[in-house]
């Protein structure tokens, strides 16, 4: 008999405690904590009922201002194993997280809990790390996450291309746009590096540099795309943390050259922070948007990163993220056509202490 899933109520606490005690030897949620979590606005506790009894529960936590939800606790009563209760609760937890505007669900699981690990991996969760001595008895926790899509399919008409170098996110987004507007164009690693060489402006003493909006816009124009720049600051960008005078000089000269060439090509430039309506309007016109974001929400690092906004479903901006964490077993299914809630998108779409916003709007050339 399939289990019915609903939101937990105060009268479920006794049954929840019984499941907790039957499943876990330590790190148990107390009766008092169950009561508090059931009532908390930033938590959602789901229970599965089967044969008139509680068969299991899933507890999801929502941190305010975050695009990530956490599966805080998950347990199935021993006598209900193998009936699909776990799969049903996990699906319901994902739906709840998505409905709360979260784009990812993360969790921790004991490294010796093979049954739970199998369930998570079969349902599309990927390992993102581990933490030793996480549990009361010193056991290690494995961390997993899954990108949430609701009913959105992974497939899209905009081609996806994964970057092959750490520093080519912008050029790869540019190639995806080129392939979208010219079906004869096929992205490849040689073009990826060529576009990076043409667009890069950031001089790195320790390795290859990155790209800023004017360099990418000039490269896009020269590749035959219609181009528009939206940027919140005038002057050279990404200089706040540059201490070397020589490095600053090189970056300023490179950016001055790109600005001069953008002016020569008559690429429209708007100097103000863009809003969600700006991006939605351009997408509604059939254009794409190459958007600068902070990589913190996407992969936990406060680094500048470019993604391609490809669509708008009325509540989310859909993006292609060219970065795939191969070491974390990500695939294109994790990085393509990601639905990002509007408010999270706008929090992502800024970088640095000054909240720099930058986007390059891409479309068919007016001459084609």
Does one domain contain both 226 and 173?
yes
Q: Which of 189, 155, 158, 154 is nearest to 172 (CA)?
A: 189
For residue 124, what is the domain's CATH number? Answer: 3.40.630.30
Does one domain contain both 99 and 195?
no
Average pLDDT over residues 30-38: 93
For residue 177, what is the domain's CATH number? Answer: 3.90.70.10
8 Å CB contact between 158 and 173: no
Does one domain contain both 307 and 185?
yes
Does one domain contain both 122 and 243?
no
Read off the pLDDT band of 320 (50, 70, 90).
very high
The per-residue pLDDT for range 88-125, each reduced to its tens digit, is 999 999 999 998 888 889 999 999 999 999 999 999 89
Q: Is residue 154 part of a domain?
A: no
Residue 93: its pLDDT value, please?
96
Does one domain contain both 300 and 183?
yes
The per-residue pLDDT for range 53-95, each reduced to its tens digit, is 899 999 999 877 677 889 999 999 988 877 889 999 999 999 9
Average pLDDT over residues 179-200: 93
Contacts of 253 (CB under 8 A, 6+ apart): none
The parent domain of residue 32 ranges over: 4-147
Does one domain contain both 341 and 209?
yes
Q: Is residue 22 part of a domain?
A: yes
Domain count, the chain: 2
Read off the pLDDT band of 8 (50, 70, 90).
very high
pLDDT exceeds 80 at position 202: no
Q: C-alpha dihedral over 207, 164, 348, 69, to 10 degrees? A: -120
As given in the structure block, the two tokens for residue 367 are 């001459």
Read off the pLDDT band of 340 (50, 70, 90).
confident
Read off the pLDDT band of 180 (50, 70, 90).
very high
Average pLDDT over residues 24-30: 88
Cα 54 from Cα 76, distance rounded (Å) = 9
274-307 in b/e burial notation, b at 16+ Cβ within 10 A? beeebbbebbeeebbbbbbbbbebbeeeeebbbb
Cα 67 from Cα 64, distance rounded (Å) = 9
Q: Is residue 155 part of a domain?
A: no
pLDDT exceeds 60 at position 206: no
Residue 114: its pLDDT value, please?
92
Does one domain contain both 180 and 291?
yes
């Amino acid at each position: 008999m399939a289990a019915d899933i609903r939101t937990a109520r105060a009268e479920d606490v006794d049954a929840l405690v019984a499941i907790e005690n039957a499943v876990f030897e330590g790190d148990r949620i107390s009766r008092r904590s169950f009561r508090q979590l059931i009532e908390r606005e930033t938590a959602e506790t789901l229970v599965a009922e089967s044969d008139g009894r509680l068969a299991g529960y899933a507890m999801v936590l929502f941190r305010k201002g975050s695009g990530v939800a956490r599966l805080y606790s998950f347990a199935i009563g021993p006598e209900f194993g193998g009936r699909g209760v776990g799969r049903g609760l996990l699906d319901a937890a994902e739906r709840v997280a998505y409905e709360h505007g979260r784009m990812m669900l993360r969790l921790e699981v004991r490294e010796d809990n093979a049954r739970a690990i199998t369930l998570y991996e079969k349902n599309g969760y990927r390992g993102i790390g581990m933490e030793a001595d996480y549990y009361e008895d010193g056991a290690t926790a494995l961390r997993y996450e899954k990108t949430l899509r609701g009913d959105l399919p992974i497939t899209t008409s905009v081609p996806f291309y994964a970057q092959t170098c750490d520093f080519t996110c912008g050029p790869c987004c540019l190639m995806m746009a080129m392939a979208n507007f010219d079906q004869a164009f096929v992205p490849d690693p040689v073009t990826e590096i060529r576009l990076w060489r043409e667009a890069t402006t950031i001089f790195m003493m320790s390795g290859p540099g990155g790209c800023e909006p004017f360099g990418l816009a000039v490269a896009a124009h020269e590749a035959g795309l219609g181009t528009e720049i939206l940027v919140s600051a005038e002057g050279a960008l990404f200089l706040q943390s540059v201490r070397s005078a020589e490095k600053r000089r090189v970056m300023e000269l490179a950016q001055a050259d790109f600005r001069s060439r953008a002016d020569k090509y008559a690429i429209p430039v708007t100097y103000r922070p863009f809003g969600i309506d700006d991006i939605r309007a351009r997408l509604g016109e059939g254009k794409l948007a190459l958007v600068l974001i902070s990589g913190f929400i996407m992969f936990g690092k406060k680094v500048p990163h470019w993604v391609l906004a490809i669509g708008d479903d009325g509540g989310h901006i859909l993006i292609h993220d060219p970065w795939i964490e191969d070491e974390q077993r990500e695939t294109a299914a994790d990085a393509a056509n990601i639905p990002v809630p509007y408010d999270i998108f706008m929090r992502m779409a800024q970088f640095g202490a000054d909240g720099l916003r930058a986007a390059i709007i891409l479309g068919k050339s007016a001459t084609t």
